[in-house]
Structure 1
Amino acid sequence: MSSYIDAFEKVTGQPAPPEAGKLDQLFNQIRQGKTLPPRGQQAVAMGLTAHTLNDAREDPALFAYYRWVMTHCFKSGQVNELTARLIGMAFTSANIFDTDLPQPLTLNPWQLTPMLDFPLKNKQAVVIENNGVFALLHQEHPDWPLILQSGNDFNEVYVQLIQRPEARGMRYVYLGDLDSAGIQMADQFARLLKQTSAEEVAALQQPTDVRLWLADLGKIDVRRTKQRKVVSPVYQAEMTTIALFGKFIEQEQLMGVYEERIAEWLEATEV
């Protein structure tokens, strides 16, 4: 039996789908470090339809098996494939890279490698969770160094373009919605970093701030304030406060506060 099928069935307790064996060829190529074509071509080469490895609706059981093996049998970054994905794998920022191109700048996977060591325009960056807040801050302050988090999309391009600049001296702060999901995203972002503490990441939105803002501006919503698991103590404190208050705040409500605090932070941390 295939070692991948065996591992899947032992761990999940579920039978592998009938066509699971067809993927052994692909998995073996990954293990050997071979460069793979785009995912649609990979699927066709194994006798599957082009969307099988990209779209769960094509063959749900086989897609679930494929994702399980990719997640549990290979390390992050081990897959060397030519990507055909541009949408949903982007990194959008303003005034981070030292380029004459109009800002904001959106990078796709094909641009990743040369940008990892591209000259930096700034050594500070404010990471913004929501698209609209990012756009408004950039419009009002076109010289500010901003990075769009874009919700919970921690795609591979985004992660590498956060971690490499940090290794080169970049400092980050994070601003997001003050609800359970927003705090969980902030915690996830902080855990991407190797040289920056979660307390530094939360410098503009600290637990004492959260308590005051919730009391003054918070909106009641049980669904958006349920306790979620976070790791960093600073975000555990904020999560607990949100759950206890049963209230949340959206980024748009804090624009005035953001502008004042970002300006002060950029001035205080300027290299």
Structure 2
Amino acid sequence: MIDYGHAYCEATGKPAPTQAPRLTPLFQQIAAGTLLPPRGQQAVDLGLTAHSLNDPREDPPLYEYYQWVLAHYFAEQPPHELTAKLIGMAFTCANLFQTDLPQPLTINPWQVESLTTFPLATRRAIVVENNGIFIWLFKRHPTWPLINQAGNDFNPTYVQLLQELEQRGLQLTYLGDLDSRGIQMADYLFQQLQKTSIEQFTALQTPTQVATWLAVHGKSDLKRQRTRRLTVQQPVFQTEMDSVCLLHQFVEQEQLIADYERLMPAWLDEA
């Protein structure tokens, strides 16, 4: 077995970061050609925060080490991973419309008018904040009706089609990151909707459920960046914001896959 940490130290003169051993199983999977989930899920599965392998600002020494190993050992065999780069100015969904086209579908602005009367394949759908979570859930459960919210990508096509779908009776609920920005995004998205009740929108991510997830899975925000207080409009989201800010804990969606897989089918089956 290759000692990547030792090799890194010998080549760079820098000690391997303290978290380096956590990446060893990942490097073994890459070497074996294993299909990996999106990179944020990989990081959380290793006990890291979701952005550790994507964002050099999250943990600079670990990110540098990770990139060094990829460049020196896997240049000819890059990771076989699902990408989270799904959309630009569009609407990405799975199993919403009655069609034989391969899923997921990415809908552009020119298609919106036609799709306002296109037959629906479901009465309920779950809006998922994170690109990577959307595609990972779809990969694991290819028949679930999902809508990719794509973080803060509230583009006009997305908002217009979401409003059209709820006007047609599609019931929507939401799942996102449990940090200040994630809760603020949920609040903002809810304000764009016209027919969806707050009870339905938060059916899976209630204040009680949020508090439980923070207690069980919460990560300490030592830098106080992800748990700073942000403005929200809905009292439900104010309660959730209070929990995050008071505890200085956050939870990333990648940590909740098992819980999602337990909760989502029951809600979808209620339709």
TM-score normalised over the length of structure 2: 0.66
- Which residue is equivalent to 2:118? 118
- Which residue is equivalent to 1:108? 108
SS in 1 for 2:106: strand
Deviation string, structure 1 residues 183-211 (Cα, Å, up to 9, x no partner): 01111111122121122111101111111
- Which residue is equivalent to 1:264? 266
- Which residue is equivalent to 1:178? 178
SS in 2 for 1:120: coil
- The one-letter code matched in structure 2 to 1:143 is T
Higher-Rg member (1/2): 1
Question: 1:116 offset after TM fit, Å?
Answer: 2.0
- The one-letter code matched in structure 1 to 2:154 is F
**CA–CA separation in structure 2 for the residues paired with 1:267 and 1:178:** 25
The alignment of Structure 1 onto Structure 2 pairs a total of residues equal to 183
**CA–CA separation in structure 1 for the residues paired with 2:135 and 2:162:** 19
Q: 2:246 aligns with which of 244, 248, 261?
A: 244
**CA–CA separation in structure 2 for the residues paired with 1:237 and 1:248:** 14
- The one-letter code matched in structure 2 to 1:254 is L
- The one-letter code matched in structure 1 to 2:144 is W
* Greater RCO (CA < 8 Å, at least 6 residues apart): 2
- The one-letter code matched in structure 2 to 1:131 is N
Deviation string, structure 1 residues 35-92 (Cα, Å, up to 9, x no partner): xxxxxxxxxxxxxxxxxxxxxxxxxxxxxxxxxxxxxxxxxxxxxxxxxxxx721100
- Which residue is equivalent to 1:151? 151
**CA–CA separation in structure 2 for the residues paired with 1:197 and 1:110:** 29
TM-score normalised over the length of structure 1: 0.66
- The one-letter code matched in structure 2 to 1:266 is L
**CA–CA separation in structure 2 for the residues paired with 1:149 and 1:220:** 26
- Which residue is equivalent to 2:205? 205
After TM superposition, the structure 1 = structure 2 runs for residues 30-69 of structure 1, keeping only pairs within 5 Å, are none
Which aligned runs of 4 or more in structure 1 are off by greater than 2 angstroms?
none
- Asked if the contact 1:172–1:200 (Cα under 8 Å) also holds between the matched residues in 2, the reply is yes
- Which residue is equivalent to 2:95? 95
Q: Report which stretch shifted further, 155-164 or 196-205.
A: 196-205
**CA–CA separation in structure 2 for the residues paired with 1:239 and 1:153:** 21
Identity of matched residues, %: 55
Question: 1:102 offset after TM fit, Å?
Answer: 0.5
- Asked if the contact 1:187–1:198 (Cα under 8 Å) also holds between the matched residues in 2, the reply is no
- Asked if the contact 1:191–1:198 (Cα under 8 Å) also holds between the matched residues in 2, the reply is no
- Which residue is equivalent to 1:217? 217
Question: 1:220 offset after TM fit, Å?
Answer: 1.3
**CA–CA separation in structure 1 for the residues paired with 2:212 and 2:96:** 32
- The one-letter code matched in structure 1 to 2:170 is M
SS in 2 for 1:160: helix
- Which residue is equivalent to 1:235? 237
After TM superposition, the structure 1 = structure 2 runs for residues 13-28 of structure 1, keeping only pairs within 5 Å, are none
- Asked if the contact 1:214–1:247 (Cα under 8 Å) also holds between the matched residues in 2, the reply is yes
**CA–CA separation in structure 2 for the residues paired with 1:237 and 1:267:** 28
**CA–CA separation in structure 2 for the residues paired with 1:216 and 1:123:** 32
**CA–CA separation in structure 2 for the residues paired with 1:172 and 1:147:** 9
SS in 2 for 1:93: strand
- The one-letter code matched in structure 2 to 1:234 is V
SS in 2 for 1:132: helix
Deviation string, structure 1 residues 109-133 (Cα, Å, up to 9, x no partner): 1212111221111111100011111
**CA–CA separation in structure 2 for the residues paired with 1:158 and 1:224:** 26
Please provide the CA RMSD for this pair: 1.0
**CA–CA separation in structure 1 for the residues paired with 2:107 and 2:185:** 21
